[in-house]
Amino acid sequence: MTFVDDRPETSVQALNALNDDFLYFNVAGSGPTFPIAQRAAEAYRTWMNGVGMFSHVGYESYNAELSATRADLASFIGDPEGASRIALAQSATDGLNTLIASLPLEPGALIVTTAEEHPAALLPVYRRQDRGDRVRVVALHDDERFLADVAQAFNDGAQAIVLSLVSCRTGRRLPVEAAAKLAREAGAISVVDCAQALGQIPVDVRALGVDAMVFLGHKWLHGPLATGATWIADPGRWTPSRVGWRSRADHDLEGHMTLNDDATRFEIGTVDVAAFVGIRQALAVHRALGAWVGRRVKELRTRVLAAVSELPLDLLGRADDPTGIVVVQPRSGGAAEIVQRAWDEDRVVIKHVGDQSMDAIRISFWALHRDADVDRLSAVLAKQLTVRA
């Protein structure tokens, strides 16, 4: 029995899950899930409930669907023979915690990361300080200066770097290939967070040249919540900090265990297999859409940038970044207030991004957005900025 349609309908009407009484510009927060992916997950969940997950029939299917998901994900990121290098996770946060806690480093290691990172990466990196490791956070200015700072960290003995392919804070595409090359030359490990990349820009893990990569299903892939995965170039190099019944090939009552020799050594226990069926369906949609996604995001980005250029807003990213994330800072401040009023008064969802260094508005869009949606967003921002002024 198959639950994944390899030739899905890809019209906007078929793929749009949202009600039509508001506008949604927070894809960088959550997709939402394609209806066809939701249906695939629910159909499988219903079937599995009927046969019993740990019956002979159910358990065989459970393992087969997870294996198929690993293979599909590996192929989607440019490693078609790399299913053994994929470990399934509950989210990017789950994967990052697992990998960062398991980094094979010497005691007191220096770990370099960036100021662009989501707390899902920063907090596990900071947690390494509890075991005596050191952390250096590098700011992202221009790429040349950023890479010089990264190179200096490796000259100072850094043993690992953790960075995003696409920044959740500014939408910038970071120079991951060059940073990973610096890491390799220093004998260090590179871990890349692709949560804001996979599904909106091409991701080729071999071309990136990284040691490990983390991604999830519910943002730009438009898959179900609570799905994610890690790709690890050499799983045997890492000893998981957490283990469970799915991690091991064998164990005994004297405490000996043999971990799986592939990336499943990072998988711990029972997962919602139906959600991963939904991910496979979402990947089938993306394969059908192909390069159109990137072209359409570029068109929409041009339209969004033209709209915000007419308003008292400062762009925090770069105009030529290939992403559906545009982050702008109101010159008069009050970004959080503007975001809230846009929802309360105009039913438009945008995101406030703020900390000690920024008070900004994140606009994130995907290929399903229409030109008219951007025009309405522009009008709402113009209105709310006038009120603020």
pLDDT digits (tens, 9 = 90+) for 49-92: 999 988 999 999 999 999 999 999 999 999 999 999 999 999 99
Q: In angstroms, rounded to a whole number, what is the distance separating the alpha carbons of residues 325 and 386?
A: 23
**Residue ranges of the chain with per-residue pLDDT less than 70:** 388-389
Whether residue 301 sits in one domain with residue 264: no
Whether residue 325 sits in one domain with residue 234: no
Computed from CA positions of residues 140, 142, 143, 149, in that sequence, does the dihedral angle turn out positive or negative? negative
**Last residue of a domain, which of 225, 252, 287?**
287
pLDDT of residue 380: 97
The pLDDT tens digits of the residues spanning 6-53 come to: 999 999 999 999 999 999 999 999 999 999 999 999 999 999 999 998
Q: Give the count of beta carbons closer than 10 Å to the beta carbon of residue 157.
A: 13
pLDDT of residue 388: 60
pLDDT of residue 232: 98
CATH number at residue 243: 3.40.640.10
Whether 118 is covered by a domain: the verdict is yes
Q: What is the pTM of this model?
A: 0.95
Task: For residue 64, give its domain range.
Answer: 43-287
Whether residue 381 sits in one domain with residue 248: no
CATH number at residue 353: 3.90.1150.10
Whether 26 is covered by a domain: the verdict is no
